[in-house]
Structures are given as structure tokens and as C-alpha cells.
Amino acid sequence: MRHLGCLTPFGLGAGLVALAGVLLAAFLSGGSMFSPGPLNALASPGITYGGVNSHAALGGDCGACHSSPLDGDGMDTHCLTCHTNIQAQQADPTSLHGIIPASQGCIACHSEHRGAAASLTTSSMADFDHAALGFALTAHQTTAAGQPFTCADCHPGLAKTPHPSGAYGFTASYCQDCHAAYQADFVTGHVADFGTDCIACHDGVDRYTGFDHNTLAFRLEGKHATATCVSCHTQARDPASLKGLDATCLSCHQADDVHKGAFGPDCAGCHSVNTWEGATFDHNQTAFPLTGVHIKVACADCHGNHVYKGTPTACVNCHADPQVHLGQFGTDCAACHTTDTWKGVTFNHNQTAFPLTGAHVTVACASCHVNNVYKGTPTACVSCHADPQVHLGQFGTNCNACHSTSRWTGAVFKHTAFPLNHGSRTPVPCATCHPDSSNYKSYTCYGCHAHTLANVVAEHRGVNSADLNNCLRCH
Amino acid sequence: MARVAKLPTAGSTRPSQHQTYELEIAIVAMGAVTALYLWRIRSGTLASSDFFGHGLGVIGFLLMLATETLYSLRKRARGRALGRLSNWLQWHIVMGIVGSYMVLLHTAWQFQGLAGVVTLLMAVVVLSGFVGRYIYTAIPRTLDGVEVTLDSLEQRREAVSEELAVLARTSPDTASAIGDAIVILKGARPNVAGGVASIFGRTLIANRDHAALRRAIKVLRRLDAAAAGRAGALLDEQITLQRQLGALATARRLMSLWHTVHVPLGVALFVLSFVHIGAAIYYATLHH
């Protein structure tokens, strides 16, 4: 008889022996003979689930996790029956297990029979949607040393074996510990600027390493290049809020504006980004162009306390009326002085109530203005020119009535009420009527008219004899 | 009883042995599997129970199961146009080696419980297979891999001797040269008796014979090239037939003994494998 392949007596016998051996081993060892590997034996101190502190403590009780398929409940139900803490997490959407769909099942991330000290978690970071916890791992693929990130890099509790309770916990100090290791200065400043709650701003996606601000409309040059981010982005709490910042100078330099807004919001109109000093303001564009010595004057000499707007332009605002003026020339320095020097005064006397003409023009100021008294100087001629002896006090003090300011000679006397044009066509010598040259107030009409006292008396009967020489009284 | 066949008669030209490449193919396939395995574990260790691990185990087991059953069936399908038996053996070996290698990778180097026993038994069966293959090749076969009979070997040996005698009679020089060569061969090969050593040490024996043949051929160089070539070929075949005839009985006994051991080991392996598979399905699949 030919046997088909292995169906020899020895073959059949060996098969039966093998089967019997399996049954015997199963009877003696329970289900452990089917275990593909040792169960996890790592026990967290003081923590028990389902009455045991590790899976290894279950021994050969396969049914503790592997229930009969006839029961209808899967292994997940058995897992959660013991791991009540995971049940609680599943009800909390902010927790690790709360964001994982229950339909995914424990087996998606966890495994067993991998050794007494092997990790029960098999999923890699790439498989886990860490972003669902509010922090994506997009920027945390490799460490600063170029190594792939492990969970324990940010959750140090996982580096301990066995894992302590809450090993997946996280505090922001872990961020600082890592980042300070290779960018200590930045982290120190960044924490000082924004605080220690990294997660409040960072979601794991943003990453500014290599970011070039100069690719934006607002290039960072000069001092701006060394400014900290928060210097301008004071309210930035997430990547989106870094955008749309007011680009005007005053939006950041409001506190630096010593001009108190006097020059508007455009600092760059006068200042460079390298320093506040060395402003290039063109004063000549203002209503008060700088000329002469004013060009060299320090700004602060006129603009005290950095008040630039509304500075009065009157000379006296800066230049107090000097003592030498004795308050006589008012506050308009420019009326006499230039901005080049105080000397070389160009006073125009003709602008006063007493224009200088004739010989007055060449007269020294002090001739009239004694003791530098310029204001209130009387304009009457007699205040300077005493009535000369030759006038014998007969012509009053108004020199100007007869004299010009060019010279004393050539006076033109305008005769009084008595007309000189009667009875003669040629000028009549003064002595004809005023025989007493020392007294032009006395006169006589007898020099022209052939009158005698007798005739006059005869003609003027009834007239007071005292008036017979005062012809003008009646004529 | 193994199938046997007759050798060609004397004077006919022997076709070259059909070459098989089971080891080369197996090495290439194992290299490909290894590359895939290394790529898979680049980020961590492999778990027997994950998709890739299970894939290795399932495919490897199917290869082993197929190679065992299909080759066994082919051996019993006589006279049918199902390809050369040597080709079937080639693929039987390739699938057995590659399949068992994949199963080994499937273990993830964990050898606990029944799975560990199955792995150990598999290793034993594979090693046994290598031994069986070595014994198998000690038995002369036709180009199709069919065993030749003892009578056929005897007839072939007689035919070769007769042809040598005819060749020696062509001239005194030829007779002298062939005689000298035979003396050299006999001196260098004091015995060609059978025994276990003739099977497991046949490579060494063959090397010894080839060295002796090279010395014998040197004395044939005084003949013309055609006569020298033919005489050398006949002497070569003659000493080969002598080795085969001396070891044939032992080889057949060893082959029978090997079957007696190998088949039960294989059956036990498959029984335990099915139990392991059933347990894996029960514990690792149905309950999820």
C-alpha cells in the first residue's frame, strides 16, 4: 500500500503524539503555552488595576483579557474594566485618551506579550494625532541634536520604568529646559517677554527659525534689527496676531516721542533707524527759518523740554530786552538787529515820530539822546536848540517855523497877520516898520504914512490917546 | 519504493546533467525578504502579531505547506506531463528554505511556549531536509531525477570497461598508456567500498578521485588528442560508476531511514503549527 506523502504510520503516529503533547501541556500550564511572549511585569508603585499591579501578575489567566468570542465583548471592554483611569480619560476631551476615538480600540496603540520590560505602547508619534491635544508635532520631528523626537523628550515621566502615574503629564518648563539648552539667550528673553506658558501661544506648527523679517514690507534695519519681537508685537499671543501690526513709528515709539506728537507720527522724516541722535530736521520748512547765528544754536536753546510745537517766534521769547535798551526799543529785535550779530544795528529813525532830515541825519545819537535815553526824548526844537540870543526871545521855540533842518541860515519868516503887500510892490525893509531891532513886537506906521501926532489926534477925536500908536488895533 | 530508470547504453553520448539552482534562488529570495524585513524594522522591532509579522508567518507557512504537499503529490504522479521531478525538487527546496526563513522572522526572535516549540521543530525539519537532500544526491538519477537501477549501473560499468578495452586494442601505445593510467588510478584509490562514510564523505572521496584522474590523464597525453580525450572520459566515468555502485546500497538505506525520521518530524511540525495558528486566531483575532 502506498501512502500519500506524510500519511505513513510513523507520520500519523508523530502527529498524534504532537497533538497529545499539546493537550497535555495545555492541561498543565493553562493558556500560557499559547502566549507569544512574556507579559509586561512593570509595576507602578502603589497602583493596581483589576486587583493586580502588572499584566504579568495575571499569570496564565488568558481570559482576564481574552474573553470567549461567544461573550460578544471585545478585548477593549476587558481593558477598560480594569483600567478605570482610562475610562475617566475617555470622558475628558482634553485628555490623551479623550481625543482618541473609542472605535480605534486599545490595540491600535498598545500591545502585549513583548517582554516583561517592553513598552505596552507601540504607536509612534507619527501615528498619533497630537494636534488634537492642541499642540501639533509638526515642528518637533527632530531634536536639536538631529535625533527623532520620542514621547519621553517632552513627557519625561515616560523615561522612567515603570512609568509613574501621570507620565504623560506636561509642564511648560519642559519646553524651556530643551530650548534653553541650545538657545539660552533667546529663551531667557522670550520667557521674560511672554511668560512661561508656552502653550498659550505655541501650537507646535509655528516655527520661526530662519524667519527673515526683511521679506516683509516692514524691513528690520539699524536698531530695529536687534530689537526683540515683543518690542513691537506686544500683544502677540499666536502666529496670527503677529500680523497686521501698525507700521507707523509712533505705534511703537509713542513713549520715546519727546516731541509729544509735535512732529507727527513719522519719525523717519527726521531720524534714521540707527539712532535717535543726528536728526536731519529742515527748520527752514517751518514758519521760522533759521538764519545767521540761529543756525548754530542748539535746538534745546529755543525748544526747552523738547517742546517744539507752538514755540513763540518773538525775539523776546529767547532774547530778553537787554539792559542797554533800557526798555526803550520794544521786543522786535529784528527791527534794528540782524541774526548775524547784535552789532551793526541798523535803526531807522525815520520809522519813529521824529524822522531825521537835514543836519539831523549826521548828528550823533548821543547829541539828542543823552545818557542812552532814547525813549521819551522830546521832539521840540528847543529841547536841543536853545532860543538863540539873536532872536531876543521874539520868535518862540518852533525853529521849524522859519528854519529848515539843513542850516540855520536862510530862515524864511512868514509875517504875521499884518500883510506886507499893501501900499508897495517891493519888499519893505523890516526897519521901516520896526525901527527898534531889539523889539520886533513894537512897530510904527508913521514911517510910511505922513502922519504927525497932531494930525492923528485931530483925526481921531474921541479915541483914547493911549491907542494912537497902536494903529493895528483898529486898522 | 522509489522510481528507478535505466542508464543509456554504452557508446551513446551522455547528455549533461540537468542543472538546478535551488540554493541560488533561495539565497536571492531570502535576501529580498531580509531587505524587506530590515526596511520594516528600521524604526523599531517587529512584532509577530502586527500586519507585517503575521504576513511573514502566514506566507512562510503556506510556502512550507505547499512545498511539502505539492512535491509529495508530484512524486506520485508518474508519467504525467507535470514537469521534471528535478524542477519540482528545486522549488520544493526553495520554498522550504524561504518559507522557514520567513517563519523564523515572524517569531520576532521570541521563542516562548508553543510558538517556540514550533520554531525549534521547524529548524530541526529544515536541517533534516538539508541532510536528506545530501543523501538524495548520492543516489544516481536520470536527467528527470528518477533513480537508476543497480543493474543499469552494472551494465554501464561493463560497457565502459568494454569500450576502454576496444580503445586499448587500437595500438600498443594506446594500450600501454591506458594501462599506465589504470595503474595510477588504482594506486591512488585503494578502496571504493561503501558505507556511511561513502555518503557523507563523498565529496572528499570525489576530490581524491579527481586528483588521481588528473594524474592518470597526464600519461594519456602521449596519445593523439582524440584517443586521449576519449580514454580520459571513459576513465572518469568508470571511477564515478565505481563510487556510485559502492555507495548505492548505503545511500538507499540512509534515504529510507531519513524518510522514516523526517516525515514524522514534518507531520509533528504541521500539527503543532496548525494548533499555533488556531490559538493565534482565537486569542489574537476573534477577541478583537
Q: Tell whether B76 lies on the interface with A, counting CB pairs under 8 A.
A: yes
Q: Is the residue at B275 inside a domain?
A: yes
Residue A142 phi, psi dihedral angles, 5° rounding: -130, 150
Number of structural domains in chain B: 2
Amino acid at residue number B112: Q
3-state class of A470 per DSSP?
coil
Q: Which of A33, A62, A65 should we substitute to test contact with B (largest number of B Cβ atoms within 10 Å)?
A: A33
Check CB contact of B279 with chain A, cutoff 8 Å.
Answer: yes
Cβ(A337)–Cβ(A293) below 8 Å: no
In this structure, is residue B60 part of a structural domain? yes
Residues B210 and B258 in one domain: no
Indicate whether B122 and B263 sit together in one domain. Answer: yes
B100 in any annotated domain: yes
Q: Which residues of B214-237 are buried (b: 16+ CB within 10 A; e: fewer)?
A: eebbebbeebeeebbeebbebbbb
B112 and B225 in a single domain? The answer is no
Domain contains B15: no
The residue of chain B with its CA nearest to that of A32 is B113
Measured in Å, how far apart are chain B's first and last C-alpha atoms?
50
Q: Which residues of A90-108 are buried (b: 16+ CB within 10 A; e: fewer)?
A: beeeebbbbbbeeeeebbe
Q: Chain B: give the shortest CA distance to residue A35, in Å.
A: 6
Contact residues on chain A for B88, CB-CB shorter than 8 A = none
B contacts of A107 (beta carbons < 8 Å): 288
Mutation for testing the B interface, residue in A23, A73, A113, A141 having most B CBs under 10 Å: A113
Counting residues of chain A whose pLDDT is more than 90, the rounded percentage is 3
Question: Which grid coordinates belong to B223?
Answer: 596519445
pLDDT of residue B13: 46
Rounded-to-integer distance, Cα A240 and Cα A206, Å: 10
Judge contact between A180 and A187, C-beta under 8 A: yes
Are residues B109 and B219 located together in one domain of the fold? no
Distance CA B153, CA B159 (A): 10
**Is B130 in the same domain as B262?**
yes
- Confidence tier at A324 by pLDDT (50, 70, 90): confident
pLDDT for residue A470: 77
| Inside any domain, residue B1 | no
Range of the domain at B112: 21-147+250-286
Does the CB of B166 have a partner CB in chain A at under 8 Å?
no
Do residues B179 and B193 both lie within one domain?
yes
Any domain includes B132: yes
Q: Which pLDDT does position A66 carry in this prediction?
A: 85
Q: Which amino acid is it at B130?
A: F
- pLDDT the model gives residue B121: 93
Q: What is the pLDDT of residue B35?
A: 95
Tell whether B134 and B224 lie within a shared domain.
no
Torsion of Cα atoms, A423 then A429 then A434 then A438, to 10° = 170
Q: What's the rounded mean pLDDT across residues B130-152?
A: 80
Which residue shows C-alpha cell 509577530? B48
pTM metric for this prediction: 0.51
Do B137 and B236 lie in one domain? The reply is: no
Grid coordinates of B194: 561503501
CB count in 10 Å sphere of residue A271: 20
Give the C-alpha separation, A435 to B150, whole Å.
204
Closest residue by Cα to residue B91 from B1, B29, B16, B5: B29
- Under the banding of pLDDT at 50, 70 and 90, the label for residue B3 is very low
Q: Which pLDDT score is estimated for B18?
A: 57
* Band (A394; pLDDT cuts 50, 70, 90): confident
Give CA–CA dist A92/A80, Å, rounded.
Answer: 15
Q: Indicate whether B6 belongs to any domain.
A: no
pLDDT for B12 beyond 60: no
Cα–Cα dist B92/B258, whole Å? 17
What are phi and psi for residue B39, nearest 5 degrees? Answer: -60, -40
What one-character-per-residue DSSP string does A146-159 give? SPBP-HHHH-GGGG
**Is residue A109 predicted with pLDDT exceeding 80?**
yes
CA–CA distance, A12 with A445 (Å, rounded to integer): 194
Instruction: Tell me: do B232 and B128 sit in the same domain.
Output: no
Flag if A74 and B288 touch (Cβ within 8 Å).
yes
Residues B119 and B210 in one domain: no
Please name which of A110, A130, A114 lies closest in space to residue A122, comparing C-alpha atoms: A110
- Do B139 and B164 lie in one domain? The reply is no
Distance from C-alpha of A466 to C-alpha of A462, rounded to nearest angstrom: 11
Q: Are A176 and A196 in contact (CB under 8 A)?
A: yes
pLDDT digits (tens, 9 = 90+) for A264-290: 778 888 888 998 887 888 888 888 899
The model's pLDDT over A233-263, given as tens digits with 9 standing for 90+, comes to 887 766 677 788 888 888 888 888 877 777 7
Kindly determine whether residue B43 and residue A15, on different chains, have CB atoms separated by under 8 Å: no
How high is the pLDDT of residue A28? 84
How far apart (Å, rounded) are the C-alpha atoms in residues A83 and A100? 16
Size of interface A-B (CB pairs under 8 A): 103
Predicted pLDDT at A216:
86
Give yes or no: residues B61 and B120 share one domain: yes
B271–A34 CB contact, under 8 Å: no
The whole-number average pLDDT for the span B143-170 is 83
CB of B42 within 8 Å of a chain A CB? The answer is no
What's the gap in Å between the CA of B103 and the closest CA on chain A? Answer: 14
Q: How confident is the model at residue A126 (pLDDT cuts 50, 70, 90)?
A: low
B63 — pLDDT class (breaks 50, 70, 90) = very high
B109 has a chain A CB within 8 A of its CB: no
Percentage of chain B modeled with pLDDT above 90: 22
Higher pLDDT, A334 or B96: B96
Give the pLDDT confidence score for residue B287 in this predicted structure: 54
Which amino acid type is present at position A380?
A
Q: Which three cell numbers stand for residue A404?
A: 529848515
Give chain B positions within 8 Å (CB) of A2.
76
Condensed to tens digits (0 to 9), the pLDDT of residues A46-74 reads 888 989 999 999 887 888 888 777 777 78
What is chain A's mean pLDDT, rounded?
81
Q: Residue B170: pLDDT band by 50, 70, 90 thresholds?
A: confident
Q: Do A15 and B76 touch (CB under 8 A)?
A: no
- A49: helix, coil or strand? strand
| Alpha-carbon dihedral sign for residues A429, A430, A433, A437 | negative
Q: Is residue B7 part of a domain?
A: no
pLDDT digits (tens, 9 = 90+) for B186-202: 877 766 666 777 788 88
The predicted model gives B134-155 an average pLDDT of 79
> Amino acid identity, residue A189?
G
Q: Kindly state the average pLDDT of the residues A432-446.
A: 79
Residues of chain B with C-beta less than 8 angstroms from the C-beta of A35: 112-113
